[in-house]
Structures are given as structure tokens and as C-alpha cells.
Chain A
């Protein structure tokens, strides 16, 4: 019997928990990807080691298909793992995690194919692969190089499992909506992905594409941007570490996430022209970089000053890249 959706999650959490990861819960603000959660975006900064794994429902309004398309979702579920610093046997650990969810590597074809990741809104990029399982992309594997415009040292490894794809593969179903969410139990009801999520996909597709009020979205975007700027301007950079520690940098970051999500919503409503697009991405990035700097200063003020951003040759992310990642 193939793993149910929830058992797949349990197994992966169990595996990475045993590798010393903190098992976190999903972040409670809308994000486009697990990378945007503070558990990744902020924790990868600075010298402190960290290991964490969590499920993150990731919202990409433009990818919604009203629940009609068997493979495309407005909100898909990622399992995000961060190992900082990345251990030398990281690839082997990853392959063991696949065995742990029942994939016999003797019977399946695994390839690591070049795929570098970048997020212009977060000022972040990394080098890595998409991991292909019998021709299906199941994981994005990235060695983070920069985040918030700053070079990362040590280098964290980020593994992002696409949970619907993996579950559909394991259960051999052609539509994500046919995935069994929970394992069958005599006398108790069984639920499919459709039962749990279809209304969500349909209603949010309607909202994101048809009903969201564009002027309201712009207003919200500007309010959150303003709040974030205000906080960043008030950050007590000259003061004692004790004072700095109290400052709500995390709250400022929530405002960045709100801006990013509102940008994606506006984009799916077709409200952002191509020329505006680059400029708005730049506005969100500026906030993200500001928060990253403040966080680093706050957390490591008494350790050492933040490193200035380096720019390795030929690797700066392009402005035109997709924003939702």
C-alpha cells in the first residue's frame, strides 16, 4: 500500500527529525514558497548553524486552474529542509529520505539535472539541481549562495520536495485530486485530496483571477510597504545589543511577505504591466534586503559586523526572473 499524503509528510518529517532537524509547523502568513518563511530566509543568514524541516503550503495565484487541471494548483504543498552548514554527505542523506518513503532506488531512475534557483524579490539565489525520478521533477536541491543580497557563510543546503507530485507518483494516480489524503481505516471515512482541497482551489482561483479588487490590493500593498519602511527606519542601529534584540524585525518581515503575496495577486489579476513589474519587484526586494540586514545586525551585533554583499562574477540574478518563487 502506497503512502497516503499525510503519511508521506509524517515519514519525511520523521526522517529529517532524526537528522537533527527542528520540525516546524507551516508559517501563518501567505508565502509563495517555503524559502520565504523566516525559518529559511532569516535563519540562513549569519554564522549560526541550523537544521529545520517543515511543510509549507505555497500560494501562487497565477498558477490556479479552478480545480480543473490535474497537475496545476494555486496552492501546492512543499516540504522544506534546511541544513546549515550543508554536510558533505547531503546527497546521500537525500537519497536515504527517498528510501524512507518507499522508493526503491534499484527500481527507479534518479538524476540530478542542473537547475539554479533565484528569487529576485528576496535578493536570493543558489546553485543546484532539479532531482528527476523516472522523468518527474520531485525536488529542488539548492546550495544557497546569497540571501537578502548578502553572501551566505556557511553555505546552507535547501531541499524542497513537491509533495503532491511525490504522492501522486507513489500512489500512481494521474490527477493530484485523486491522491488519498489519509490511510483507509475500517469504520472511518477516507478523504482524497479533492475532498480536502478542491473548494480551496476553485474559490481562490475565482478570487485571484476575477474578484479581487485591484485598487484595494494596491492600497494594501502600499500600507504594508509603508509599515515595513517605518519599522526599518526606526531600527536602532547605533544602540546596545540588548536594545536591538527587542526590536520587532520579525514583524517587519511579515510586512515583506504581505507585499510579496499582494504583488502576486495583482500579477494574477493582470494589473501589473511589464514595465511596472521590474519596479515593483525592486520595491519588495529593497524591503527584504533591509530586513535581512537588520536581522543580521540584531542577532549578531555582539558577535561581529555583517559582511558586505559580494557579487560573484556572472551570477547576479536578472531582474526579469519570475517573482513567485
Chain B
């Protein structure tokens, strides 16, 4: 082991796959923070901070590796200055007493202000081997997990799962500490079945090799590559049968990567007779419930094949494939049974059953929610001109009926989808079926909005009713707690308006859902927040661009997007940012003069001074007249930006705060008018210009 190498492995029982990456990130930050606080440098040289903490994980181990960690803190040497040399001896003695040193140890230091008594304090830096045993237990137990447990009793530590082994080496030596009765040591452990339970470790390279020899692939990227390579090989072998491609599912792949220490993919098959069931149902069973990757045939349709991943080096006897096929068969049989049972009671006959399904205790049953949704669809219809109101209303009526079906009770993630599939099978028009199918969408920023205008209308009504209802009874999201997924609902509304290019004013949408009391105002703010988030995170607009655009109007979502887009396009041009600076200056001048509101109307042309002032007025009016009707915001901004030279000349040549009060007032009115006239697209003063930063 290199003499300054640091290696930590926390050996645990299986950590939930989805918690591992965030835990590694936190582990890395805790170590970096700890090293910084302890002034432990990297690069083998005191003073250079550690930047290189590598982390790795499998379900049973969290690992951190630092190639170079300084072997001690730097010494501290500082000069503490006391009273002036000229003061009486008592002051000097008092200073020495305060420091707890002999007055004879004080020296004299010269400063520009004169000579002073001073003391040179020296503190020797501690050795890393003394510091790590204190730091490491704090770091390990400081890792955040969303849900923790205790296992050695209530006085013991909490962690995500029991810690069973600790490997901690610095410079090849054990860093001694213990957690919950487990002592740190120089040993790791292999794969449960493929490896030895106790393996001596001397350094990171040897550790990696020892793990590999004992059935553990430490690097997540390697496990991912292995799964994909195995799958590619299996698919190539299945080519003659026409089974072409793996259906991508990065989230599931990541789950499999963190469920295994030694992943091996293999391919199973199922009876093609099950393909009579909708693909959505089959894929949900395979991916969500069995964690299998599904496969497409050459035509892109679901193939009667699946790829499963075992935590083992192979399946020589075929028993594992046989077992997985057997489980899938049972699952598909269940699904088919539910599908057939559900068909006996069409969606429309399920309406009375919705009375027995509670939406929320104060907001009534799903039957009541359905009735509100239908009414809201009609009130919102004008905002979605492309939608057939009758189709949308019918869809809203039937949309929640699938909550009473066996299939949705078993596969809750298929709510909506199942309703859409049943509606189609039961002869409802495609418009209705598709709207039901899509009405929970979009559930994330990545998921697409409902495909049809009718679907968009139903989805808007469903989400707005939920939002208005919950806000009206005080169920607002707070912090990380959002049990009714209201943020997602509002985000969905914003995304639908954007994707379907619906110029519906948000306050009118909110009002249509009839929130009570203060809820309307709260919802307005809530939506503004969601719109801001959407523009920044989903559309990638810069912080100040979003602020500038929303400052002058945040009611019409597609319009706000168009204005952001225009700002983004025009921003790099040479005149734009200087003009923003000029607008900021105008605002400051007006603020000092009592505010923009003090100067209504237009400037009096007769009072304008010939030259720069009259020139600015004339140019600005021309640009304003030519752009005021336009929705081509990019053009508006370009033309506005062209005013920059005139504005600059104005400020160069003209004194705003003129002696003559009428002239001064007229100039301020000109500036106020400029500000009002040219902030239709965005408030330029919100743009952060490079030199402001």
C-alpha cells in the first residue's frame, strides 16, 4: 500500500439499491469536510486540500479511497500582537497572563503603527493516525439515509442496515475504531456464495483484485457494462428467432447494478399466448414486479422473452432460468385472471362503486371527485379549444372507475392506463379511451403530456380539482412532505399548458377550480413557484432570465416560455447586456426621484432638448410603434437593444437632474416611459450582467 493511501469499507447487510448512490455522495462530502476541518491535506503535501475521494459500492459495502492523504496537520505558527511597547509594564504583564506565558517569552514586533509586544504561538500539527480514529466513526454514522434502524438495542447506533464489518487502512495500517461492537480491521469479505468470508487487505489495488477473485465487482460501471454485454450476447444469439433489442430502462438497470455484487444476465421465455394481454400489463409485471428487462422483436413489438439478472456467475443447471420463468408464468396467470374478471363489469357500471372509494376524508369519495372533474372539464373547455368537450366530459366521468378493478388493485401503478385499455375494449370512442389512459400524465418532467387535447383537458381538470380541494382544507405541501403529490400535480399543469401551447391564464384556471378562502392566493404563489422551477429545470433557462421574464407577467405559460426563449437568443448580442445596465441605471434614478409611478404619461416633446434627448425620444417612439403589437419577442428585443447607443449618448450628454424643474420632470417622465414601454417582454434590470457578479 502506498504510504499515504486511505481506504475505508463499511460492510453491511443489503442496503436498499436506490439509497446507495446518494449515500456514497454524502460519504464523500463528509470525508472531504472532515479532512478540511482537520486541515488534512492531500497530495502528500501539507496545505494542498484533498480533492480526490473515490467512492464505490455494492449492496453490501460502501467504500471510500483516497490515494494521497497527508500524514499530519501542518504546524500552526501565528503572531499574537499585544499592547504598544511604550505602555507601562502592567499592560505587558496582563497580556502575558492572558496567554498564560512568561512575560520574558514576549518579543517586540515592528508595525507601520509603531512597536508592539507580541507572542509567537506555535502548535504542532497532529498526526493523521491520531485524527482518523475520531473522524471515521462520526463520518460513518453521519451518512444520511431516508429510513434507519437500530440493531444492537436502543442505545446502539442507527444505520440503514446492520454494520457487520469495518475495513479501515491508512498507509497500510489499521485505523482503530469500533461501531456497534464491530472493530475496524484489515479484512474484507467476498461474495456470499462465490467468495471467502474473510480476506486480508493491504492496499486498494490488491483490495480490488482480491474482491474480483472472490466474486465481487466493486465498480458499479463495470457491473452495468457486464449486464449490458451479457444481454447483447444473449440477444445476438436470439437473432435467428427475430428477437432484436432490449427495451431500455435506465432506472431498472441501475436497480440491478445495486442489487448485485456479481451480476450475470440470462434470457428466459414465456408462452406467446400471454401476448394477448396488453403490453402495458406484461411490461409492468416484468419490469416493476420481477425486475426483468423486456425485449422487442424485429418489428418493435414485445417479444415473449425477458432478460433477468442473477447475483451469481452463471446458471449452469438452468435451474435459475426455470425458476424465474415459473414465477413469471404465475404472475401472468394472475394478470390474465384479473383482466378477464374485470371485463365482466364494464367501467360505466362501476360508477356507483366509486362512492365507496375515498379520495380524501374531507373531500369526499371518488364519485364526488368525478362529478367535480366533469363540471370542471366543462368550465375549462374554452381554454383548450382543440378538445371535444363531450369526449373529455365522458372521459372524466369514467376516468376513476378503474380504481375498482382487480387489475389496478394488484398493479396500482397502472391506474389510468387500465381504465384507458378497458374503455377501448368496451367500445368507448378512441378519443375517450386515450384521454382516460393519459389523464394522470405527466407524472414527471420527463414523461410526456397527454397525447390529445381531450386528454390534456381531463388531466388539467383532475389536477386542478385536487390542488384546489387540498389547498382549501389546508393540505399544502411543506418541506419534503407532500403526501398528495401536489407539487407534481401543479408541475403537470404547467407542463401540459406548455406542451399543448395553451394560453390559459393561470389565475383563471385556478378560479375555475373554485378554491375557497385564501386558497386562491396561495395557489397563485404555488404555481408561480412551479413555473419558475419548470423554466429553470425543465427548460434550462438561466436564473436571471426567468426572473426578468416573470417580473413582467407570469400568467400565460407558453408566452412566458416564448419570452424566455427570446431573452436567451438576444442575450449574447453586443447591445443587450449594456442596455440592461442602462435600464438598471434608469430604475435607480427614478427610485431616488420618488419612483416610476410619480412620472406617468409621455414626455412633452416641446420640452426636449435638441440633440441626444430628442434623438432618444424619437428613436424610442419609432421602435415602440413598430414593436408594440408583435408577439415576435426576439424581434422586439433586438429592436429594443438597438436603442442602446441612443441611451448611452443620452446619459453622456444630458444631465437628467436639470436645474429647471419642468425640464427635470420631463426627463424623468421620458425615462419612466422608456421603462414602461420596453419591459413588455422582460424586466431588463433583473438581468445579471457580467460586471455585476
Contacts and interface: CB of A to CB of B under 8 A. Distances in A.
Interface of A: 69-72, 85-86, 88, 91, 95, 105-114, 116, 126-127, 129, 133-136, 143, 145, 151, 153-155, 169, 172, 174, 270, 273-275, 307, 310, 312, 314-315
Given A107-B317, A169-B323, A145 B149 contact: yes
B590 interface: no
B154 A127 contact: no
Given A70-B333, A107-B319, A312 B356 contact: no
Contact of B192 (A110, A116, A127): A110
A108 B193 CA distance: 10
Interface of B: 13-14, 16-17, 59, 146-155, 158, 161-162, 164, 181, 192-193, 259-260, 290, 292, 308, 310-312, 315-317, 319-320, 322-324, 326-330, 333-334, 337, 356-358, 361, 365
Contact of A135 (B164, B290, B356): B290
Contacts of A145: 149-150
Contacts of B327: 134-136
A127 to B, nearest CB: 4
A100 to B, nearest CB: 16
Contacts of A135: 290, 292, 308, 323-324, 327-328
Given A143-B149, A275-B358, A134 B324 contact: yes
Contacts of B361: 275
A109 B266 CA distance: 12
Contact of B337 (A69, A88, A108): A69
A111 B311 contact: yes
Contacts of A169: 323, 326
A273 B356 contact: yes
A155 B320 contact: no
Contact of A108 (B150, B319, B358): B319
B569 to A, nearest CB: 45
A172 to B, nearest CB: 7
B489 to A, nearest CB: 19
Given A85-B152, A109-B315, 7 more contacts: A86-B151, A106-B193, A108-B323, A109-B312, A109-B323, A127-B149, A274-B357
A169 B260 CA distance: 23
Contacts of B334: 69, 71-72
Contacts of B311: 109-111
10 contacts: A108-B323, A109-B311, A109-B320, A111-B259, A111-B260, A112-B59, A114-B17, A143-B149, A143-B151, A155-B152
Nearest to B312: A109
A50 B334 CA distance: 39
B323 to A, nearest CB: 3
Contact of B154 (A105, A111, A151): A151
A69 B161 CA distance: 37
B357 A310 contact: no
B192 A136 contact: no
Nearest to B59: A112
Contact of B319 (A70, A126, A134): A134
Nearest to B180: A88
A321 B207 CA distance: 44
A256 B181 CA distance: 39
Contacts of B181: 88
Nearest to A71: B330
A95 B322 CA distance: 21
A114 B17 CA distance: 8
B151 A274 contact: no
B16 A114 contact: yes
A258 B358 CA distance: 27
A315 B323 CA distance: 35
Contact of B146 (A85, A134, A155, A314): A314
Between A69, A111, A275, A314, the greatest number of chain B beta carbons within 10 A of the residue's beta carbon is seen for A111
B154 A153 contact: yes
A314 B361 CA distance: 23
Given A134-B327, A143-B151, A154-B153, A113 B319 contact: no
Contacts of B149: 126-127, 143, 145, 155
By Cβ-Cβ distance, the 3 closest A-B pairs, closest first, are A134-B323, A114-B16, A109-B310
Contacts of A143: 149, 151, 162
Contacts of B365: 274
Nearest to A320: B358
Nearest to B160: A127
Contacts of A71: 330, 333-334
B124 to A, nearest CB: 41
A136 B17 contact: no
A154 B181 CA distance: 14
A73 B181 CA distance: 43
B243 to A, nearest CB: 20
B147 A314 contact: yes
Contacts of B150: 145, 155
Between A85, A108, A129, A169, the greatest number of chain B beta carbons within 10 A of the residue's beta carbon is seen for A108
Nearest to B60: A112
Contacts of A273: 356, 358
A110 B161 CA distance: 18
B265 to A, nearest CB: 12
B324 to A, nearest CB: 4
Contact of B320 (A88, A127, A134): A134
A85 B334 CA distance: 39
A174 B290 contact: no
Contacts of A105: 192-193
Nearest to B155: A153
Contacts of B154: 151, 153, 307, 310
Nearest to A157: B151
